[in-house]
Structure 1
Amino acid sequence: MTATTHTPVPAHAPVAGSPTGADGRASYQKAQRRASLRALMLALPLIVFLLSTFIAPIALLLARSAQNREVPDSMPSLSRALDAWDGRGVPDEHTFALLASGIKDAQQSGQLGTVAKRMNFAQPEFRSLLMKTARGIRSDTPPAWKPALIEIDERWNSPETWRLLKRAAASPTPDYLLNAVDARMTPQGSIASLPANTSVYREAFVRTISISFTVTVLCLLLGYPVAWLLANLPEKSSNRLMLLVIVPFWTSLLVRTTAWYVLLQPGGVVNSLLMSLGIVTHPVPLVFNRTGVLIGMTHVLLPYMILAIYSVMKSVSPVYLRAAKSLGAHPFKAFVRVYIPQTLPGVGAGCFLVFVLALGYYITPALLGGAGDEMISQLIAIQTNTQLNWGLAGALSAYLVIFTAIFYFIFNRIVGIDRLRFG
Structure 2
Amino acid sequence: MSSPSLALSAAGAATAEAATSPLQGQRLQQAVRRAEAPGRLVSLLLVLPLLLYGAVFFLVPLAMMVHRAVANPEVQEALPRTAVALAGWATEGGAASDGPPPAAAAALVQELQQGAGSRQLGELARRLNYEQAGYRTLVIKTARQAAALPAPPPDAASWLAGVDERWAEPAPWRALQRAASPWTAYYLLSALDLRQDDAGRIVQAPADQRIYLDVVLRTLGIAGGVTLCCVLLGYPLAALLVRAPRKFALLLTLAILLPFWTSLLARTTAWIVVLQENGLVNGLLQALGLVSRPLTLVFNATGLYIVMVHILLPFTVLPIYSSLKGIPPHLMRASASLGAHPVRGFLAVVLPLSMPGVAAGALLTFIVAAGYYITPSLVGSAREQMLGYFVAFYANNTVNWGMASALGLVLLACVGAVYVVAASTLGVRQLAGLK
Alignment TM-score > 0.5, same fold: yes
Map Cα deviations across residues 68-96 of structure 1 (whole Å, 9 max, x no partner): 11111221111111111123212122111
2:129 corresponds to which letter in structure 1? N
Q: Structure 2 matches for 1:365-404, cutoff 5 A?
A: 365-404=376-415
1: distance between equivalents of 2:293 and 2:314?
33
1:365 to 1:234, Cα distance in 2 relative to 1, 3 A? same
Query: Would you say the 8 A contact 1:312–1:421 is kept in 2?
Result: no
2:73 to 52, 69, 73: 69
1: distance between equivalents of 2:188 and 2:364?
27
Partner SS state of residue 70, structure 2: coil
- The number of equivalent residue pairs is 414
Aligned partner of 1:328 in structure 2 is 339
Displacement after TM superposition at 1:258 (Å): 1.1
2: distance between equivalents of 1:323 and 1:51?
49
Q: Structure 2 matches for 1:135-150, cutoff 5 A?
A: 135-137=144-146, 138-150=149-161
Aligned partner of 1:191 in structure 2 is 202
Map Cα deviations across residues 24-63 of structure 1 (whole Å, 9 max, x no partner): 4334323434443343344434433432233212210122
1:168 to 164, 176, 179: 179
Query: Would you say the 8 A contact 2:110–2:152 is kept in 1?
Result: no
Partner SS state of residue 65, structure 1: helix
1: distance between equivalents of 2:151 and 2:386?
52
Map Cα deviations across residues 117-159 of structure 1 (whole Å, 9 max, x no partner): 1112222311100110011111322222111111011111110
Query: Would you say the 8 A contact 2:85–2:101 is kept in 1?
Result: no
Displacement after TM superposition at 1:21 (Å): 4.8
Aligned partner of 1:113 in structure 2 is 122
Aligned partner of 1:89 in structure 2 is 98
2:330 to 319, 328, 336: 319
Aligned partner of 1:412 in structure 2 is 423
Map Cα deviations across residues 200-238 of structure 1 (whole Å, 9 max, x no partner): 100000000100110011001110110000001123321
1:23 to 1:340, Cα distance in 2 relative to 1, 3 A? closer
1:160 corresponds to which letter in structure 2? A
1:239 to 1:20, Cα distance in 2 relative to 1, 3 A? farther
Query: Would you say the 8 A contact 1:62–1:397 is kept in 2?
Result: no
Structure 1, 69-78 or 103-112: larger mean CA deviation? 103-112
2:355 to 315, 328, 344: 344
Aligned partner of 2:5 in structure 1 is none
2: distance between equivalents of 1:324 and 1:24?
51
Displacement after TM superposition at 1:195 (Å): 3.0
Map Cα deviations across residues 148-203 of structure 1 (whole Å, 9 max, x no partner): 11101111111011111111111321111110011111112212212333211000
2:167 to 145, 156, 159: 156
Q: Please report the RMSD computed on the Cα atoms of aligned residues, expressed in angstroms.
A: 2.5
Partner SS state of residue 414, structure 2: helix
Q: Are 1:260 and 2:276 matched, yes or no? A: no
1:123 to 111, 132, 137: 132
Query: Would you say the 8 A contact 1:261–1:287 is kept in 2?
Result: yes
1:124 corresponds to which letter in structure 2? A
1:178 to 1:35, Cα distance in 2 relative to 1, 3 A? same
Query: Would you say the 8 A contact 1:376–1:396 is kept in 2?
Result: yes
Identical positions, percent: 40
Which structure 2 segments of 5+ residues have no match? 1-9, 18-22, 91-95
2: distance between equivalents of 1:418 and 1:44?
23
Q: Are 1:357 and 2:368 matched, yes or no? A: yes
1:331 to 1:168, Cα distance in 2 relative to 1, 3 A? same
Query: Would you say the 8 A contact 2:99–2:169 is kept in 1?
Result: yes
Q: Are 1:227 and 2:231 matched, yes or no? A: no
1:54 to 46, 53, 58: 58
2: distance between equivalents of 1:41 and 1:321?
45
2: distance between equivalents of 1:121 and 1:224?
48
Partner SS state of residue 116, structure 2: helix
Partner SS state of residue 189, structure 1: coil
Query: Would you say the 8 A contact 1:365–1:373 is kept in 2?
Result: yes
Query: Would you say the 8 A contact 1:311–1:422 is kept in 2?
Result: no
1: distance between equivalents of 2:82 and 2:379?
48
Partner SS state of residue 184, structure 1: strand
Aligned partner of 1:30 in structure 2 is 34
2: distance between equivalents of 1:65 and 1:57?
12
Aligned partner of 2:3 in structure 1 is none
2: distance between equivalents of 1:421 and 1:231?
21
Partner SS state of residue 151, structure 2: coil
Q: Structure 2 matches for 1:291-310, cutoff 5 A?
A: 291-310=302-321
2: distance between equivalents of 1:230 and 1:139?
83
Structure 2-normalised TM-score?
Answer: 0.89
Displacement after TM superposition at 1:239 (Å): 2.0
Displacement after TM superposition at 1:290 (Å): 1.1
Structure 1, 307-316 or 136-145: larger mean CA deviation? 136-145
Higher relative contact order (CA 8 A, sep 6+): 1
2: distance between equivalents of 1:153 and 1:94?
19
Structure 1, 36-45 or 287-296: larger mean CA deviation? 36-45
Aligned partner of 1:16 in structure 2 is none
Structure 1-normalised TM-score?
Answer: 0.91
Displacement after TM superposition at 1:313 (Å): 0.8
